[in-house]
Amino acid sequence: MSRRLVFLGPPGAGKGTQAQAIGRKLGLAHISTGDLLRKEVADCSPLGREAKVFMDRGELVPDAVVVRMVKARISEPDCAAGFILDGFPRTRAQAIALEAETHVSRVFFFDVADSALVKRLSGRRSCPRCGASYHVEFVPPKKAGICDLCGSTLVQRDDDKEETVMRRLVEYTAKTADLIGYYRDRGILTSVDAFAPPEQVEHSLIAAIRKVPEA
C-alpha cells in the first residue's frame, strides 16, 4: 500500500522544501531529479557530464537521460512504501514514460505568482550534502550559512544566478506548464496555494495527501 505523488510547479515554488519535510514526516521517499543530477555531476559520471551542459545553461536535460534515472530510482526498495517525485516529470514525454512505469496517485501543483519566484531563487541557499533548501530572508537556517539538518556549509547553486534563473523560468513556461492541463484532464490534479508561508503550505499539503487513497 503506497501513495505515489508528483510535486509540479515552477522553479522556486517550494517543491523541494515541502517534499523533504513531508517525505520525512509521512515516510515517503523524496526523489528530486535535480538532486540526483547534481550528484551525477559531482561524481563526474558519464551521465553527469552529459547533463551538466544543459543544467549550466538552465535548460532541461534530455528526456531519455532523466527517464532512465527515475526508472532506476523508483524501483529501489525505499520507494515501495510510496514516494514524492519533485521536479519530474517536466515534459509531456516524461509524463507518458512515468505512466508506463507506475500509477501516479495524485499530482500537487504549486501555484505561486511569477513575481515571487526570482526573489525566492536568488535568496535560496542549498545544502550540497543533504539537499535541504533555505532562504536568506524567508527560511533562514538556525545558524547563518549552516544546514540545520546535517551541519554542512550552505552554498548558492550556480544555476540560481540571475541569467540562468530567467532561462529556467522560460523553459518551465515552454515545456512544463502544459502538464497542469495534462493532469487536470486526468482528474488527478490538486492545486496548492504555494504563496503562503512554508508551515501553512505544509499543513494544507499534509491534509490533502492524507485523503489520497493508498493503492
Catalytic positions: 15, 90, 124, 157, 168
Is 11 a binding residue for ligand ADP by CB under 6 A? The answer is yes
Among 14, 23, 58, 131, binds ligand ADP (CB under 6 A): 14
Residue identified by cell 496555494 is: 193
Q: Count the residues of the shown chain that bind ligand AMP, applying the rule CB under 6 A.
A: 17
Is 209 a binding residue for ligand AMP by CB under 6 A? The answer is no
Cβ–Cβ under 8 Å, residues 130 and 152: yes
CA distance 108 to 192: 7
Residues in the chain: 215
Is 55 a binding residue for ligand AMP by CB under 6 A? The answer is yes
Cβ–Cβ under 8 Å, residues 159 and 176: no
Could you tell me the three cell numbers for 186? 486526468
Is 131 a binding residue for ligand AMP by CB under 6 A? The answer is no
> Footprint of ligand ADP on residues 114-153 (CB under 6 A)?
120, 123-124, 133-135, 138-139
Residue identified by cell 544546514 is: 147
Nearer to ligand AMP, 56 or 214 (CB): 56
Please choose which of ligand AMP, ligand ADP, none residue 123 contacts, taking the beta carbon within 5 to 8 angstroms, the exact cut-off set by kind. Answer: ligand ADP
Q: Kind of pairing, strands 106-111 and 124-126? A: unpaired
Is 34 a binding residue for ligand AMP by CB under 6 A? The answer is yes
